[in-house]
């Protein structure tokens, strides 16, 4: 099975104070075991690394732990999808749904690949669920 996930799902792999961490970690196990293949934009690495850094700044995790998480991040098997050729579609989606370009990047990757997009962002899910049936909320896995 192939999936697109956003950073709201990935950060739950490491941050213990998030909701639905069991769902997220089960998904990670399936990725590591080869049962699930992640198709993601390069942007994903930057977003997750930024989320880890933000967790340090907010004293949710230590600097030492963050460095371990960054190493683990780059060990996650991911197939990268080039997004630059699709920036126009991404921009139009961001305008339509009134969301940031980076959020809509995951949506467009899923649309282009014709695969599900899993998010842990309830507001984003609620915005997209009626028009994009391939978008799923992490708790529903």
pLDDT of residue 141: 85
Q: How far is CA 135 from the centre of its chain?
A: 12
Domain ranges (residues) in the chain: 2-140
Q: Give, in degrees to the nearest 5, the angle at Cα 45 between 42 and 46.
A: 95
Average pLDDT for the chain: 97
Chain segment 14-53, per-residue pLDDT in tens: 999 999 999 999 999 999 999 999 999 999 999 999 999 9
How far is the C-alpha of 80 from the C-alpha of 99, rounded, in Å?
22
Model pTM?
0.94
Q: What is the third-level CATH fold of 2-140? A: Rossmann fold (3.40.50)
Q: 97 near 104, Cβ under 8 Å?
A: yes
pLDDT of residue 99: 97
Query: What is the sign, positive or negative, of the torsion defined by CA atoms of 35, 40, 46, 52?
Result: negative
Does an H or E element contain 83, and which?
Answer: none
């Amino acid at each position: 099975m192939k999936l697109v996930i956003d950073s709201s799902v990935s950060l739950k792999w490491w941050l213990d104070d998030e909701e639905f961490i069991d769902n997220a970690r089960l998904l990670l196990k399936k990725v590591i075991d080869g049962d699930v293949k992640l198709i993601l934009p390069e942007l994903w690495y930057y977003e997750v690394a930024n989320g880890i850094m933000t967790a340090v700044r907010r004293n949710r995790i230590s600097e030492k732990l963050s460095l371990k998480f960054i190493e683990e991040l780059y060990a996650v098997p991911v197939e990268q999808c080039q997004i630059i050729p699709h920036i126009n579609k991404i921009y139009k989606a961001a305008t339509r749904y009134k969301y940031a370009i980076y959020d809509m990047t995951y949506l467009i990757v899923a649309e282009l690949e014709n695969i599900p997009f899993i998010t842990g962002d309830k507001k984003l899910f609620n915005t997209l669920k009626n028009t994009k049936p391939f978008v799923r909320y992490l708790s529903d896995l």
